[in-house]
Amino acid sequence: MSKFAETLRFWRQARRLSQLELALEAGVSARHISFLETGRARPSAEMIGRLGAAMALPLDARNQMLTRAGFAAAYASRDWNDAEMMPIRHAVERMLASHAPFPGLAVDADWTVLRLNPAAAALFGRLGLSEGGSFLELMLSDALPPLVENWPEVAQHTATRLRLESAARGGVARLDAAAAHLAQVPSPRGTSTGPVVPVTLRLGETRLSLFSTLAQFGTPEDLLLEDLRIELFFPMDDATAATLRALA
């Protein structure tokens, strides 16, 4: 079996699709999918594009399928500071700046912090996190749980998010290990009755209750941009809003 055939089968099974289901999504016959998976047929670059779209594959997986079939990779992975990324950086910075006085940050696929607005820098700086640091390492640190009043709920929801992000990328060992670590936190007592689970921080005399939204770019053609997450934190109550405005 060729490397391409192995990769195609891996992703089809990861997406829990039968050969017939994938064939219908890609607009080909199930027989052709079978031939591709056994190496009896070779794909064209156009066919790989159709398969990638049918399985909603991440861009790095589409690159891998292309190179394993003998084609050049189609998607680049630019550095955050590249000149071509300037419009993206400006867009992210505008979103974060307009979110003041509430915290906002941008992270990459590994949860490395690329940008913090001043409110986030002030808040997370008290937790030892700054630009270039790992938000994931903060979530796994022993210092965080004592500061989060509802740590069991936060740990549980973060573990679920990590599992989903890992599954979408075909399995990422670092994210899976972090999810497994957080899943060891004892389950929360009772169930949440609110619309969201906030993060309730106690920093000395300051108490903050925050929930977050996630934004992504809608038409990524770059590996870094595909996984970029902009996380905006909002106050869960009037007291938190007033505290954040005062801190600003």
DSSP 100-157: TTS-EEEE-TT-BEEEE-HHHHHHHHTTT--TTSBHHHHHH-TTSGGGBTTHHHHHHH
113-116 and 199-203 strand pairing: unpaired
State both tokens at 214: 């996630």
Give the tens place of pLDDT for each residue, 170-188: 999 999 999 999 999 998 8
**Partners of 207 in the beta sheet?**
202
State both tokens at 154: 């936060």
Summarize the confidence of residues 25-49 as an average pLDDT: 96
Give phi and psi for 241, each to the nearest 5.
-60, -45
DSSP class of residue 85 equals G
Residue owning tokens 């994210």: 175
State both tokens at 184: 């060891």
User: Rounded to whole angstroms, how far apart are CA atoms 29 and 79?
Assistant: 40
In a 10 Å sphere around its CB, with 0-12 CB exposed, 13-18 middle and 19+ buried, how is residue 40 labelled?
exposed
Q: Say what the pLDDT of residue 125 is.
A: 93
In a 10 Å sphere around its CB, with 0-12 CB exposed, 13-18 middle and 19+ buried, how is residue 106 labelled?
buried
pLDDT of 62 > 80? The answer is: yes
Give phi and psi for 107, each to the nearest 5.
-130, 155
Summarize the confidence of residues 85-111 as an average pLDDT: 96
pTM for the whole structure: 0.89
DSSP 158-188: HHHHHHHHHHHTT--HHHHHHHHHHHTSPPP
Summarize the confidence of residues 85-99 as an average pLDDT: 96
Please give the distance of CA 88 from its chain centroid, rounded to a whole number: 17
Summarize the confidence of residues 77-101 as an average pLDDT: 95
Percentage with pLDDT > 70 across the chain:
98
Q: Say what the pLDDT of residue 130 is.
A: 96
List of domains in the chain: 3-68 (1.10.260.40), 83-150+198-247 (3.30.450)
